[in-house]
Amino acid sequence: MNINSVVNIISDQYSFLSDECKLELSNNAKILELEKNSTLVREGQFSDKTYFIIQGCARAYYLKDGKDVSDWFAFENDFISSINSFFLNVPSPHFIELLEDSVLLEISRSNIEKLEHLHPDFERLTKVVVVKTMLSQQERIVSMQFHSAEQKYENILASHPNINKRVPLTHIASFIGITLETLSRIRKKLNYI
């Protein structure tokens, strides 16, 4: 997997980039290969990077009163960052770690800002990424507001097929706001139907 094909994927799946912009992006991003359990961002750290998942998966999570609560999962072709830290320039309230050995594209805020000032294409690209994030959050809020524990599990399976094969159930449970035990009971019940 070379950086040019990654940039093509971003242009296709997010927002069109001219050949010139693709080249600029290639020159302002770098590929990272990291092992499972690597930590990309720690709580309290100022993080000015965003990561595009080329291969593998990652999660953002809070550690609150010793409890580990997952806040976001990212798989192939998703972006992940500490949005608070990235956009508000405050210490990150959460951690980001890899759940599998992964290949990532790392882009710094300063490079993005530089590119945004050079080409409207990049202003549009970041807008599209943020809009997609916002719409996913909206779906999640609706799921939390309307649905039972069982429906919320079905929702996450619908939006992330195979998540239950790639991500430990503890993380899925905390993401949808239920306990591991409740999730286990739901899974048992759903197997018999």
Partner DNA sequence: CGAAAATTTGATCGAAGTCAATCATTGTGG
Partner DNA sequence: CCACAATGATTGACTTCGATCAAATTTTCG
CA 157 to chain centre: 16
**Whole-number minimum distance, CB 136 to its own copies, in Å?**
9
| Separation CA 95–CA 183 (nearest Å) | 23
Nearer to its own copies, 102 or 174 (CB): 174
Which of 123, 163, 166, 182 forms a contact with its own copies (CB under 8 A)?
123
**Whole-number minimum distance, CB 120 to its own copies, in Å?**
5
Q: Which residues bind DNA (CB under 7 A)?
A: 148-150, 168-170, 177-185, 187-188, 193
CA 152 to chain centre: 19
Nearer to DNA, 103 or 180 (CB): 180
- Which residues share a beta bridge with 34? 102
In contact, 190 and 181? CB cutoff 8 Å: no
* Stretch touching its own copies by CB under 8 A, among 73-81, 82-90, 164-172, 180-188: 82-90
The structure tokens 């997010």 sit at 14
| Separation CA 32–CA 113 (nearest Å) | 21
Segment 18 to 77, residues that bind its own copies, using CB under 8 A: 62, 64, 69, 71
Helices (H), the chain: 3-13, 19-27, 83-88, 109-118, 120-146, 149-159, 163-166, 169-176, 180-191
* Stretch touching its own copies by CB under 8 A, among 20-28, 37-45, 83-91, 151-159: 83-91
> Contact between 127 and its own copies (CB under 8 A)?
yes
Give contact residues for its own copies (rule: CB under 8 A): 62, 64, 69, 71, 83-84, 87-88, 116, 120, 123-124, 126-127, 130-131, 133-135, 137-138, 140-142, 144-146, 174, 177
